[in-house]
């Protein structure tokens, strides 16, 4: 049966729009079931605020199943909070205890401007995908799906990289605000598959250069990997960098054959 936590103190970042300077405000949740999720605790607080005639705290969320990548939040300085490989929406109050003081902030990164309170604008990620994170294949022209056998280990490792949910925790956790894990995961997914070969080097080149327009540079801290709710391995960065370097070689005709 569920237990109840008491007297949770929340220090939450409030910012009334992109231009506002923002500040922390302190709230108290008197009692909450430990079966509640972290976001359900915020729902409950918001209900309380509305009852008091105050404006609810804005935060992004949708699926609450750890798959859509909409939720965010720095919880006590950690992207998605204390539980490994868990997005904020899958974090439960049973991970906290009565009397806990919890600091909640938005993702902090130059490329993710704050929209309001805890919500940020992650559309720079979309710009990266638009620059090359796809395989060109016009609807209707595809050959039979079983025409190209793909060894299971290749398909499996492509899937490991493709599991990225685009939440931005990697950027928020990185001291440089770099997006190499996000960008490289997509490059690794598509570049490892036979279907992705035709655009392989062009893809690596355009995506990495688009990324550099918005994000800081990677200095191999590895914080991204530990913050990633899907445990995407930092190895993808090496793979993407290797393809990027090859793309920069002059003899592109040659490398297109290796």
Binding site for ligand FES (CB under 6 A): 61-64, 66-71, 87-89, 165
> Which residues touch 204 (CB under 8 Å, ≥6 apart)?
132, 187, 191, 240, 243, 244, 246, 247
Q: Taking CB under 8 A as the rule, does residue 50 contact other proteins?
A: yes
User: Which of ligand FES, other proteins, none interacts with 196 (beta carbon under 5 to 8 A by kind)?
Assistant: other proteins
For other proteins, the binding residue among 14, 22, 37, 103 (CB under 8 A) is 37
Q: Counting Cβ atoms within 10 Å, is residue 68 exposed (0-12), middle (13-18) or buried (19+)?
A: middle
For other proteins, the binding residue among 188, 190, 224, 240 (CB under 8 A) is 190
Contact 203, 131 (CB under 8 A): no
Q: Of 17, 16, 18, 70, whose CA–CA distance to 39 is shortest?
A: 70
Piece in contact with other proteins (CB under 8 A), picked from 140-148, 173-181, 220-228, 242-250: 140-148
Q: Taking CB under 8 A as the rule, does residue 27 contact other proteins?
A: no
In the complex, minimum distance from the CB of residue 182 to ligand FES, in angstroms, rounded to a whole number: 15
Q: Taking CB under 8 A as the rule, does residue 31 contact other proteins?
A: no
In the complex, minimum distance from the CB of residue 35 to ligand FES, in angstroms, rounded to a whole number: 18
Which of helix, strand or coil describes residue 146? coil
Closer of 66 and 216 to ligand FES (Cβ): 66
Piece in contact with other proteins (CB under 8 A), picked from 74-82, 155-163, 174-182, 241-249: 155-163
Closer of 66 and 177 to ligand FES (Cβ): 66
Q: Of 109, 125, 126, whose CA–CA distance to 174 is shortest?
A: 109
Closer of 63 and 100 to other proteins (Cβ): 63
Q: Taking CB under 8 A as the rule, does residue 32 contact other proteins?
A: yes
State how far the Cα of 160 lies from the Cα of 199, in Å rounded to an integer: 20
For other proteins, the binding residue among 21, 139, 253, 258 (CB under 8 A) is 139
Piece in contact with other proteins (CB under 8 A), picked from 30-38, 103-111, 213-221, 239-247: 30-38
User: Which of other proteins, ligand FES, none interacts with 133 (beta carbon under 5 to 8 A by kind)?
Assistant: other proteins
Q: Taking CB under 8 A as the rule, does residue 175 contact other proteins?
A: no
Taking the CA of residue 76 as centre, how many other CA atoms within 13 Å lie in the half-sphere pointing to its CB? Answer: 10
Closer of 146 and 251 to other proteins (Cβ): 146
Q: Of 133, 122, 247, whose CA–CA distance to 186 is shortest?
A: 133
- Within 116-135, the residues that bind other proteins by CB under 8 A are 116, 119, 121-123, 125-126, 129-131, 133-135
Rg (Cα) of the chain, in Å, rounded? 21
* Long-range Cβ contacts of 41-48 (<8 Å, 24+ apart): 41/8, 41/93, 45/10
Q: Taking CB under 8 A as the rule, does residue 196 contact other proteins?
A: yes
State how far the Cα of 98 lies from the Cα of 38, in Å rounded to an integer: 14
State how far the Cα of 8 lies from the Cα of 32, in Å rounded to an integer: 9
């Amino acid at each position: 049966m569920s237990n109840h936590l008491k007297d949770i103190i929340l220090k939450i970042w409030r910012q009334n729009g992109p231009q506002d300077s923002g500040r922390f405000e302190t709230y108290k949740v008197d009692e909450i079931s430990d079966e509640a999720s972290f976001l359900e605790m915020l729902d409950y607080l918001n209900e309380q605020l509305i009852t008091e005639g105050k404006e609810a705290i804005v935060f992004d969320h949708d699926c609450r199943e750890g798959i859509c990548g909409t939720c965010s939040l720095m919880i006590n300085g950690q992207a998605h909070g204390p539980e490994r490989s868990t997005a904020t929406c899958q974090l439960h109050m049973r991970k906290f205890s009565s009397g806990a003081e919890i600091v909640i902030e938005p993702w902090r990164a130059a490329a993710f401007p704050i929209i309001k309170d805890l919500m940020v604008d992650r559309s720079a990620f979309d710009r990266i995908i638009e620059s090359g994170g796809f395989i060109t294949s016009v609807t209707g022209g595809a050959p039979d799906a079983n025409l190209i056998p793909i060894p299971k280990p290749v398909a499996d490792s492509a899937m490991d990289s493709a599991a990225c949910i685009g939440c931005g925790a990697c950027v928020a956790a990185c001291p440089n605000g770099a997006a190499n894990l996000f960008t490289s995961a997509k490059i690794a997914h598509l570049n490892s598959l036979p279907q992705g070969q035709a655009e392989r080097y062009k893809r690596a080149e355009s995506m990495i250069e688009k990324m550099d327009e918005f994000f800081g540079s990677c200095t191999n801290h590895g914080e991204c990997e530990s913050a990633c709710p899907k445990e995407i391995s930092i190895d993808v960065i090496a793979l993407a960098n290797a393809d990027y370097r090859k793309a920069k070689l002059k003899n592109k005709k040659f490398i297109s054959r290796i």
